[in-house]
């Protein structure tokens, strides 16, 4: 039990469900890269737990790097303004890149990073996200490796935050309306 459990209205994915899906994703990635060492680029901080577990399920040589961007500036939704606050350590020209995200919502954050990295002329870039909220997508993105699709609700846990909290929950759950004041205004499909 965690004190934060009380703020969760519904658990969507238990730690076991997450691990099971990550094992499958790890296999898909292992099968896809046969002639190169991919560089997995995690988008901080939401990717942290996912990245840690995912790389242990990829059974080919790989490297990791991280990036951090600020896209929300205190809001709960993107407004299109994004800037890099931590850039990659490595040069990626000619490399096979896998961008690893915790969740894709409007797609603005990942779209921005994708354009930025493409300009550095990698050999390929594929997208990997644990969670995908397709209902709110504004920027169309090809997601190559996807853990789960989720409905249009604000979720936390397993690295994902609300105002920086809840990242330490081992599961993914929907936050109560009175915590966010957000889900109330959204379509209840779950």
Residues involved in catalysis: 105
Place of tokens 């920086």: 164
Place of tokens 């040589």: 61
Question: Is residue 151 within 8 Å of 181, Cβ to Cβ?
Answer: no
Residues forming a β-bridge with 43: 67
Asked whether position 104 contacts ligand IMP by CB under 6 A, the answer is yes
Please, which residues have CB within 8 angstroms of residue 157's CB and are 6 or more apart in sequence? 8, 166, 167, 169, 170, 171, 172, 173
d(CA 35, CA 124): 13
Asked whether position 103 contacts ligand IMP by CB under 6 A, the answer is yes
Place of tokens 């969760």: 8
Asked whether position 106 contacts ligand IMP by CB under 6 A, the answer is yes
Instruction: Return the residue of 38, 42, 107, 147 that touches ligand IMP, per CB under 6 A.
Output: 107
64 versus 139: smaller Cβ distance to ligand IMP: 139
Stretch that binds ligand IMP, among 13-21, 49-57, 87-95, 155-163 (CB under 6 A): 155-163
Lay out the site mask for ligand IMP across 47-76 (x = CB under 6 A, - = otherwise): ------------------------x-----
Asked whether position 183 contacts ligand IMP by CB under 6 A, the answer is no
Residues of this chain, 8-27, that bind ligand IMP according to CB under 6 A: none
Asked whether position 160 contacts ligand IMP by CB under 6 A, the answer is yes
Please report how close the Cβ of residue 150 comes to ligand IMP at its closest, in angstroms: 8
Alpha helices in the chain (DSSP H): 15-32, 48-55, 108-118, 177-180
Instruction: Return the residue of 39, 67, 78, 95 that touches ligand IMP, per CB under 6 A.
Output: 78
């Amino acid at each position: 039990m965690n004190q934060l459990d009380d703020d969760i209205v519904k658990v969507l994915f238990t730690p076991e469900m997450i691990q099971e899906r990550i094992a499958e994703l790890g296999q898909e990635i292992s099968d896809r890269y046969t002639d190169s060492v991919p560089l997995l680029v995690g988008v901080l901080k939401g990717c942290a737990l996912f990245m840690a577990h995912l790389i242990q399920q990829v059974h080919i040589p790989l490297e990791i790097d991280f990036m951090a961007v600020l896209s929300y500036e205190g809001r709960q939704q993107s407004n299109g303004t994004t800037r890099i606050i931590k850039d990659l350590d490595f040069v990626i020209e000619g490399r096979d890149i896998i961008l690893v995200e915790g969740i894709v919502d409007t797609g603005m954050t990942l779209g921005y990073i994708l354009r930025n990295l493409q300009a550095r002329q990698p050999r390929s870039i594929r997208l990997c996200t644990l969670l995908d909220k397709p209902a709110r997508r504004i920027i169309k993105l090809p997601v190559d490796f996807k853990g789960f699709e989720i409905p249009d609700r604000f979720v936390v846990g397993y690295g994902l935050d609300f105002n920086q909290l809840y990242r330490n929950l081992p599961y993914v759950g929907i936050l109560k309306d009175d915590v966010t004041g957000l889900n109330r205004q959204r379509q209840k499909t779950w």
